[in-house]
Homo-oligomer: A and B are copies of this chain.
Amino acid sequence: MLDNLANINGLPQYIRIRESIRERILSGELVRGEKLPSEDELAMVYGVSRMTLRQSLADLIDEGLLYRKHGVGTFVALQQFARDHTVLRNFIETSKEEGLNVEEKLLDARLTSAKFQVARALNLEEGDKVVCLKTLRILEGNPITIHEAYFDHVKFSDFLEGNIEELSKDLLAYYESKGYKVKRGIQRLEARSIENDIAEILQIDESTPLLYKERTLYTAEGIPVEFLYCYNRGDLYSVTINLTT
Is A240 located at the chain interface by the 8 A CB criterion?
yes
A75 lies within 8 A of B221 (CB) = yes
- Give the interface centre of A207, A212, A239 by most chain B CB atoms within 10 Å: A239
B184 lies within 8 A of A243 (CB) = yes
Give chain A's interface residue range (CB within 8 Å of chain B).
Answer: 35 or more
16 contacts between A and B (CB under 8 A): A51-B51, A75-B221, A77-B221, A80-B222, A85-B241, A86-B244, A87-B244, A183-B244, A186-B243, A188-B239, A189-B238, A190-B239, A191-B191, A191-B210, A191-B232, A241-B241
| A105-117 interface code vs B (CB 8 A; 1 in, 0 out) | 0000000000000
B81 lies within 8 A of A186 (CB) = yes
Whether A189 touches B87, Cβ cut-off 8 Å, given contacts A67-B221, A77-B220, A183-B245, is no
Nearest-neighbour CB distance to chain B for A241, whole angstroms, equals 5
* B residues near A81, Cβ cutoff 8 Å: 184, 186
Contact of A86 among B64, B222, B238, B242 (CB under 8 A): B242
Nearest-neighbour CB distance to chain B for A87, whole angstroms, equals 6
Additional A-B contact list (5), CB under 8 Å, known A188-B238, A209-B234: A184-B243, A184-B244, A185-B243, A188-B240, A209-B210
B243 lies within 8 A of A187 (CB) = yes
Task: Kindly state the separation between the CA atoms of A186 and B82 in the bound complex, as whole angstroms.
Answer: 9
The count of identical subunits is: 2
Name A183's closest neighbour in chain B (CB-CB): B245
| A221-245 interface code vs B (CB 8 A; 1 in, 0 out) | 1111000000010100111111111
* B residues near A78, Cβ cutoff 8 Å: 221-223
A87 lies within 8 A of B222 (CB) = no
Is A79 located at the chain interface by the 8 A CB criterion?
yes
* B residues near A185, Cβ cutoff 8 Å: 242-244
